[in-house]
């Protein structure tokens, strides 16, 4: 990876280039990927700036297929390019404006030696958004915004389709004393295919100043239109989209507590419930073939808990646990594509020699379908990074890492085994 950033007067910039290759661990699972990004900004005045961003990903991968239906020759090419232009203006200490516009173009091609011609999917998105923040007085912040987006897809399998979205939102943040903050807002979406939808939301946060305890509560409604892939996808393996999908609508509730214990330790606990109508999910309609469908009613409840311990700014230990109970209320069964439990833990050690040691562990347990063996795995990774000086005007990081330290066999998606132990290293340079 190469990085270069700098500033010349009112002009600033950042450039990044990265190349990654891998032979993979299964037959026809190789990877060749290039990534480049840039950011160029100019401060027109102390309170006004303009910024241009661009990001590109070019990737070729082998598509090995599942263990049941392997593919020895299928290839996939991806090209993703995104550009954006932003403008920020601070009129006064109380009033500011941000404007953004962006264009995204994605090309995905798939070719199997047994199939001709190649599948090709090209999608474009042109969008813009604006937001005004107004501090009406010391206890009230008002935010007003709007968004517009046009999506197009041209696919050898799905044909040509277009959709547009217009949205506006309003949010009012009210501070009552030092302890209580209430946020009330709403968003109105107008979709070319699915009509109008208003989504309100309210949240509150209360701080007990003596103990540092924070209590949070929120409730709101949500709306999500199906993506083009969910509507029109088609591939050689029989996986298909569903043009008859309805948009997801949801009502969400959340409550939680945060508690610091001194300056070095803190923990949090959150409970949540999400009631979804027409949840969009990919389900098996034939052996190893999937189609996007609406689940009429789904109820997803769960808890999330975590803590963080910081010892003398040298050692940081963090852990997060999530339990989810997703139920299809029409059939009474679990939604098997949503995991039952996730446990993440990390340990970060900073040494005086400009060396950083990072350890991470991830445990996941899925819900098992009837007759299926237990789906549970634990994976650990490690990485050591050392900052180095390359010259008087450049620096970098030398890194060495191991993924899947214990060489566990596991699957995140059924039928698609993940990589065994992987050892890697490299140099990241900044000029």
SS3 of residue 73 by DSSP: coil
φ and ψ at residue 125, rounded to 5 degrees: -135, 125
Q: How many residues does the chain have?
A: 431
User: b vs e for 186-202, b when ≥16 Cβ sit within 10 Å of the residue's Cβ?
Assistant: bbbbebeebeebebebe
Residue whose tokens read 């929120």: 218
Give the pLDDT confidence score for residue 202 in this predicted structure.
Answer: 98
* pLDDT digit string, tens, across residues 253-263: 999 999 999 88
Average pLDDT on 39-47 reads: 92
Report the chain's mean pLDDT, rounded to a whole number: 91
Rounded to the nearest 10 degrees, how much is the dihedral formed by the CA atoms of 151, 152, 156, 158?
60
The lowest-confidence range among 112-126, 131-145, 341-355 is 112-126
Triad 127, 83, 100: Cα angle to 5°:
45
Question: Which domains, from first to last, does the chain contain?
Answer: 2-430 (2.40.170.20)
φ and ψ at residue 348, rounded to 5 degrees: -120, 125
* pLDDT digit string, tens, across residues 125-135: 999 999 999 99
Structural contact between residues 198 and 186, judged by C-beta atoms closer than 8 angstroms: yes
Average pLDDT on 39-54 reads: 94
Give the pLDDT confidence score for residue 236 in this predicted structure.
Answer: 64
* pLDDT digit string, tens, across residues 342-398: 999 999 999 877 899 999 999 999 998 888 888 899 999 999 999 888 777 778 889
- The separation between CA 6 and the C-alpha centre of its own chain, rounded to angstroms, equals 28
Confidence of residue 77 (pLDDT cuts 50, 70, 90): very high
Confidence of residue 313 (pLDDT cuts 50, 70, 90): confident
Confidence of residue 156 (pLDDT cuts 50, 70, 90): confident
How would you classify residue 389: left for phi > 0, otherwise alpha for psi between -120 and 50, otherwise beta? beta
Give the pLDDT confidence score for residue 237 in this predicted structure.
Answer: 66
Residue whose tokens read 């709101």: 220
Of 215-229, 235-249, 283-297, the range with the highest mean pLDDT is: 215-229
Give the pLDDT confidence score for residue 61 in this predicted structure.
Answer: 93
Average pLDDT on 169-186 reads: 96
Give the pLDDT confidence score for residue 342 in this predicted structure.
Answer: 97
Give the pLDDT confidence score for residue 114 in this predicted structure.
Answer: 62
**The pTM of the whole model exceeds 0.85:** no
Task: Of 336, 319, 324, give the one whose Cα is nearest residue 370.
Answer: 336
By DSSP bridging, strand 341-351 and strand 376-391 are unpaired
- Show the tokens assigned to 261: 């214990």
């Amino acid at each position: 990876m190469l990085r270069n950033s700098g500033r010349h007067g009112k002009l600033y910039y950042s450039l990044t280039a990265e190349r990654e290759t891998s032979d993979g661990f299964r037959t026809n699972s190789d990877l060749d990927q290039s990534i480049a990004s840039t950011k160029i900004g100019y401060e027109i005045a102390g309170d006004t700036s303009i910024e241009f961003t661009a990001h590109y990903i070019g990737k070729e991968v082998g598509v090995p297929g599942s263990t049941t239906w392997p593919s020895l020759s299928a290839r996939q090419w991806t090209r993703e390019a995104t550009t954006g232009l932003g403008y920020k203006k601070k009129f006064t200490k109380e009033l500011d404006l941000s404007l953004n516009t962006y264009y995204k173009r994605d090309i995905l091609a798939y070719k199997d030696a047994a199939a001709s011609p190649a599948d090709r999917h090209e999608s474009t998105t042109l969008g813009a958004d604006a937001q005004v923040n107004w501090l009406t007085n010391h206890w009230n912040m008002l935010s007003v915004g709007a968004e517009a987006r046009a999506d197009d897809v041209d696919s050898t399998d799905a044909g040509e389709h277009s959709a547009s979205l217009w949205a506006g939102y309003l949010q009012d943040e009210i501070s009552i004393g030092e302890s209580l903050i209430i946020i009330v807002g709403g968003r109105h979406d107008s979709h070319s295919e699915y009509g109008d939808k208003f989504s309100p939301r309210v949240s509150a946060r209360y701080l007990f100043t003596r103990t540092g305890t924070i209590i949070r509560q929120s409730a709101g409604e949500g709306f999500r239109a199906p993506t083009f892939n969910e509507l029109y996808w088609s591939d050689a393996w029989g996986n298909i989209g569903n043009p008859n999908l309805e948009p997801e609508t949801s009502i969400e509730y959340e409550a939680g507590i945060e508690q610091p214990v001194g300056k070095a330790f803190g923990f949090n606990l959150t409970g949540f419930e999400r009631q979804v109508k027409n949840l969009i999910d990919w389900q098996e309609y034939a052996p190893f073939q999937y189609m996007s469908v609406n689940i009429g009613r789904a109820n997803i409840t769960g808890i999330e808990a975590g803590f963080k311990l910081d010892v003398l700014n040298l050692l940081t230990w963090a852990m997060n646990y999530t339990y989810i109970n997703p139920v299809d209320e029409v059939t009474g069964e679990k939604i098997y594509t949503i995991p039952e439990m996730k446990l993440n833990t990390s340990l970060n050690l900073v040494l005086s020699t400009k060396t950083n040691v990072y350890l991470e562990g991830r445990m996941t347990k899925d819900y098992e379908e009837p007759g299926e063996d237990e789906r549970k795995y634990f994976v650990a990774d490690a990485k050591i990074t050392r900052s180095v000086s390359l010259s008087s005007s450049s620096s970098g990081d030398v890194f060495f890492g191991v993924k899947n330290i214990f060489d566990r066999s596991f699957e995140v998606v059924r039928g698609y085994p993940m990589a065994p132990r992987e050892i890697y290293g490299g140099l990241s340079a900044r000029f």
